[in-house]
Every structure is written in C-alpha cells, then in structure tokens.
Chain A
Amino acid sequence: MRSMALVWVCLAGVLAGCEREERPSRETPPGASPFPAVQTTELQAGPKTPDPSVGAYQENRFTVGQGQTFYEQYNCAGCHSAGGGGGMGPPLNDDEWIYGSDPENVFATIVEGRPNGMPAFRGRIDQGQIWQLVSYVRTLSGLTPPDTWPARADHMQEARPVTDAAPQRQLP
C-alpha cells in the first residue's frame, strides 16, 4: 500500500513536468493584424478594447529572456544602460514612470517615442518583439512576478551582469 502511494507521488511528479510555459513561435501570421496597436488619442467609439497581446507576452519567462536580448541588440542599453540604470535616458529600474508603467504605456513609449530623445520605433521593430521588450523592461523595476525575472544574461559580459541591477523594488 505504502509503495503504491509512492508510485502515485512519483507519477504526479513526472506529470507535473508536462505543464510548460506557452512558447508560440508563430502567433500571428503576417497580415493578420495591422501594425498600429497604439492609439494616439484616448477618444474612441464604445468601450476600450484591450489588446490580446498584453496577456500573451507579459509574465512569461521566455519572452522576458527574448526581450533582454533585444534590449541589448537594439541598443536600448545605449541610453538606458545595461540593467536599466539610466544614463542618457531615464533609468528604468526605479518606480518612477513618467509615461506610465502599464504594458500598454511602455509599448506606446517604444512605438511612438517620447519627447527629449526617445525615438519612435514604429515600423522598425516587429510588434511581437516590442511586446517582448516591454515584458523585459517591466521586470527591471519588479513589476512582474519574481519567477519571470531573467536569471542570467545571454552573453559573456565584461561588465557587471545585466541582472545584477534587476528588480530593486519588490511587489507590494
């Protein structure tokens, strides 16, 4: 009887491995959604329609990792520094968000640009990649659950690892 219970416990453990994070490689075939997901005005007919991309990309460890890679490759680090400490641009790892800290706000910042130097990346970066960048940027100030924070940088770094500077603020 005892051994039977043990077998069941082991089986449950093995089955737990079946639960994996979703990692779609091709969520939107090209042409399925037109690019502009950002509205330049608050005025619109009817209630606000939420963007389905927000949920799919946020709080997903894989997209955070991808976002971290793009953060470096697209040279976001050039202005905001590796780890989001800020430099030429404002820091991203504190709790002060000039233009809002919701995923939609950060997305709009990247797509539209902001005054005083933030360029608009509309049409330059793929929409999915922008959502991935958003998910990474939000981990920098601990706005997502800890299990989505990146564990390590992708590349060998001469400087301090990017993730050392990661979340300075815990979730309330």
Chain B
Amino acid sequence: MSTRLRPHACAAAVLLAGCERQFSATHPVGPQAERISDMIWFLTWLGTAVFVVVVGFLFYALWRGKQREESAAGPEAERRMAWWVGGSVAATTAILLVLLVYNFYTGRALAAFADSSAMTIRVTGHQWWWSVEYQDPLYSRRVSTANEIHIPVGRKVRLEVQSRDVIHSFWAPNLHGKIDLIPGYGGTTYFSADEPGVYSGRCAEFCGLQHAKMNFLVIAEPPDRFAAWYEAQLRSAPPPADSVQQKGQQVFLSKQCAMCHTIRGTPANSRIGPDLTHLASRRTLASGAIPNTRGHLAGWVLDPQRIKPGTRMPPNQLAGDELQALLDYLESLK
C-alpha cells in the first residue's frame, strides 16, 4: 500500500470497526437495550431534523441578504423579528420538553424490568478483571467464574454489582445500559437476551492503567446448553490424568500461583486472582486481552506485564519442563 493511502485505510478500518455487532448499543438483543436503542435513534433523528432546519434558515438568510441590500428597519420589521425569536425559543423549549418526558418514561420502563424471580448474578470489579458469581440459595450450587458470563436466552437476569478497589462500570451495550460499580455501594440492574450469541462488554469508567483491557464476554445460550454449562462449572477441577499433569499440579501448588488463585478440588484456595477451576473452558485470558490458547497461556504465565503492562499478576520464573507440565495441567481444567 502506498504511504499516501495508509491514513485513509486506517480511518476506514476504525469506521468499519463500528459495524461489529458484538459490541453495539444500536443492535439490541434484549428488551432493556431495545428501549435504550430506540432512544438513541429518536435523539439522532430529532437532532438531525433540528440541524437541517437551522442550516436551512441560515442559507435562507444568506440568500435573502444578497437579494435586499438595504436593511429593513422599522416597527413592522421589529414585530416580525420578535415573532421569529419568540417562536424559536418556544420550539426549542418544546423539543427539550419532549426529550425530558421521553427520557423519564424510558427510565421508568427500564426500572420496570425488576423481577424477583430472575436469576441472580453477582459481578465484582477488580483491577483489572471481573469476577462472576452465580447466586443460589444452596451454597453448594453457587458457581464462580471470571470475565465470562453465560446466560440462558429469554430468562431475566438480576445483576448485582460491587467493586473491590476503585470505581468501575459494567457495560455490555447489546444487552443493557451502563451500571457503575462503586466500592462499598452495591448496584442492581436487570437484563435479558432474546437471541443466542456472544456479546462483548467492557469497563466503561476509567479505573487505572489497564482500564482499556478490562473486557468480558456475555454468552447467551439456549436454556438446555446453559444448564449443561452450569452443571459442568459446579464440578470441582478434574484430578490430573497422567504424571505430567500431576507434576503440573505440583508446580501450581508449590509456586506463586496458589497464593492468588483457586482451583476447586485442590488446596489452592485464594481469592485474589480469578478462579481457575475451569480455566480451559474459557475463550479468553487476561480479561479478554488474548485468546485462550496454549501459546498465549504460556506467555501470560511467564510475563504478564508484557501483555498487560500494570497488571497485578507478577512474572513467574519457571523452568521449561515445569512450564510445559503446568500448561498441560491448566489445559486439562475443562
């Protein structure tokens, strides 16, 4: 590509990125997001209409000024001018009033989604990842995962949010509006997905060095597939299948890993970092920064600061065979 075309190509790429429907408030897949999307379009069209009318008057004034050079002064012109100014102010007030009322009714409709029978998910924001806990009256049926939220299609989800450190904001625009996570101050919202799909979300409140790499996925599935996923998540981690995985587990438990992470079914039981019990079943690592493949996992374990500068995960010094065994073990955590 010639150097002259390059900026244009870049600009086009940025613009086209807006067409990605995985992360878009104008492609709603739930009733709540639909309301918000309707309002976005209403605002956009109304704003466009106002803009067109104002620019139309501007051009009319330019054209008329050229036609008649002499200024039309006098009580007649004064009165006409007063009518025009008064009319414009009235129109502006009316438009703002319409927006105010529309906004009020949209807010009321969003609040009306509250439903005590909804499935409750608690999301906690950390620097810089999301922990997700499925609430169940039976403690043994609670599931916790990280950076990936599975929901059944058509079922209402009650989202409870909280923060462990600073203010974050949880936003999956295809599904719902933003909700802030404020330390010591819980928040609640409701949403549901009407069609299956993978939707992405991210932190929408600047929360520090790694703010831009604090993403998550919402995976809407048919109820039976969701139930299967949930049952799989309930289980403890599978025991090591062979001697290499056995060694990998020993590496995990005897090195720094166990100080921060949980693998259910082993003595590793710390809550500082994400729960890794079913790590291999997740699509991404490092809060959506990299796909979950063996190579990326190896890079992440050895030198996380290279992938996410500022992340809380420290570098790990492992010998080659230790690393390979650890990777084998982590990949077995389906």
- A residues near B (Cβ < 8 Å) are 25-26, 28-31, 34-35, 73-74, 123-126, 128-129, 154-156
Contacts and interface: CB of A to CB of B under 8 A. Distances in A.
B256 A155 contact: no
B209 A25 contact: yes
Nearest to A66: B312
B183 A25 contact: no
A23 to B, nearest CB: 9
Interface in B270-316: 272, 302-303, 305-306, 309-310, 314-316
Given A123-B254, A123-B256, A154 B315 contact: no
Contacts of A154: 165
Top 6 A-B residue pairs of the complex, sorted by shortest distance between their CB atoms = A156-B184, A126-B314, A26-B305, A30-B315, A25-B309, A25-B310
Given A25-B310, A156-B183, A126 B272 contact: no
Contacts of A123: 254-256
Contacts of A28: 315
A30 B303 CA distance: 6
A90 to B, nearest CB: 23
A156 B306 CA distance: 31
A126 B183 contact: no
A29 B165 CA distance: 27
B225 interface: no
B327 to A, nearest CB: 15
11 contacts: A26-B305, A26-B306, A28-B315, A29-B315, A30-B317, A74-B259, A124-B255, A124-B259, A125-B256, A126-B314, A155-B183
A25 B164 contact: no
Given A25-B309, A74-B259, A128-B314, A30 B302 contact: yes
A73 B272 contact: yes
Contacts, number: 47
A156 B184 CA distance: 6
Interface of B: 164-165, 183-184, 209, 254-256, 258-260, 272, 302-303, 305-306, 309-310, 314-317
A34 B318 CA distance: 11
B315 A155 contact: no
A101 to B, nearest CB: 25
B317 A35 contact: yes
A123 B164 CA distance: 26
Nearest to A156: B184
Contact of A125 (B209, B254, B259, B317): B259
Nearest to A127: B314
A164 to B, nearest CB: 17
Max chain B Cβ within 10 angstroms of own Cβ: one of A29, A30, A155: A30
A25 B164 CA distance: 21
B131 to A, nearest CB: 14
A125 B258 CA distance: 10
Nearest to B317: A30
Contacts of B310: 25
A30 B316 contact: yes
A35 B165 CA distance: 30
Nearest to A75: B270
Given A25-B309, A26-B306, A124-B259, A31 B317 contact: yes
Contact of A29 (B303, B314, B316): B303
Nearest to A123: B255
Contacts of B209: 25
B254 to A, nearest CB: 7
A74 B305 CA distance: 21
A123 B250 CA distance: 13
Contact of A129 (B164, B165, B303, B314): B314
B212 to A, nearest CB: 14
B6 to A, nearest CB: 30
A155 B272 CA distance: 13
